[in-house]
Amino acid sequence: MAVGARSGSGGEEPERRPGQDDERVAGPVGERPGERAGEPAAGPGAAEAAPGGGSAGPGPHTGGDGGGDDGGGADGDGPRRGGSKQRSFWKELPLLIAIALVLALVIKTFLLQAFSIPSDSMQNTLQRGDRVLVDKLTPWFGAEPERGEVVVFNDPGGWLDFPPPEPNAFQQALSWVGLMPSADQQNLIKRVVGVAGDTVECRRGGQVTVNGEPLDESSYLYPGNTPCGDRPFGPLEVPDDHLWVLGDHRQNSQDSRYHMDGPAGGAVPVDDVVGRAVVRAWPVDRWGALSVPDAYDELSAAAPAALGLVGAVPLVLWRRRLRAATEPATRG
């Protein structure tokens, strides 16, 4: 019979070629090799029903049935993807809060910190209640305050004659992470006028001078104030690693002029400086950068030129004397 001829003699299975089992990739669970998902399994005599007289015997499985294996694999991935559920937002919220707190602490410690202005000593540059952001990064790289900068510094001792207000728990928590100024710290904010080695002076009715150069303070001095009409000072030299600071509202500022009887003659140690105030951040309508006035740029440029001139005069005189001494010998 034809069936017997196709299925082999004696009931024996046809010989399989090497690698044939590898080509029959198994599909999803419940399918037999070469069967599509959703089709009934082929029973006895299925080989005779194959078009073209083909058989299910030896040979590579390259027919349409083989494509079902690949398709079944894609279906098998579905349960695995559906089984992994996304974490709930409320479970991730504590992690997000922890990350935010760590970032806030890093920013407060190394980058920026907010401070509130409690007095009128820096009007009109800063008004009472303004919030400023203080740069705390550059001092870590060895940068020191320069003339004209507005700096926040810790009380050197005896500058503030009143205790700080007692903060509540909410203020303490916000100040700890840097979202609010530290209410328990004794900080002041002033403008740097002189740095270490500078000679500063201000006579009654005159201007502040730095190393003999008059300082034009008209761009920031409070209207109606004089540079030092209420408290003249100097001439005095700013000690090493110290700063001479003044308030912009000169007649309402307990600055270096009022503490000249102290150990540093009114100068503030650089180590007490928290950082430079760079931005007026609040209120929004007063937002702006706290830049160095042009008068200090001109002062900084004039000082090296003056020093160069002073150093050049002895050199020119020495060269003239040397030339005068060598000219007779050359003529002889």
Residues that are catalytic:
121, 190
Pairing of strands 242-246, 268-269: antiparallel
Number of helical (H) and strand (E) elements in the chain, helices listed first: 7, 12
The reported pLDDT for the residue numbered 329 is 47
Torsion angles phi and psi, residue 235, rounded to 5: -70, 140
Phi-psi region of 310 (alpha: psi -120 to 50; beta: other; left: phi over 0): alpha
pTM equals 0.59
Model confidence band, residue 138 (pLDDT cutoffs 50, 70, 90): confident
What does the block give as tokens for 309? 């001139």
Torsion angles phi and psi, residue 241, rounded to 5: 60, 35
Q: pLDDT tens digits, residue range 158-215?
A: 898 766 666 667 666 666 655 555 555 689 999 999 999 999 999 998 999 999 999 9
Total number of residues shown for the chain: 332
Judged against a pLDDT cut of 80, whether residue 57 lies above it is answered with no
What does the block give as tokens for 315? 């050199």
Highest mean pLDDT among 57-61, 166-170, 300-304: 166-170
CB 152 within 8 A of CB 275: yes
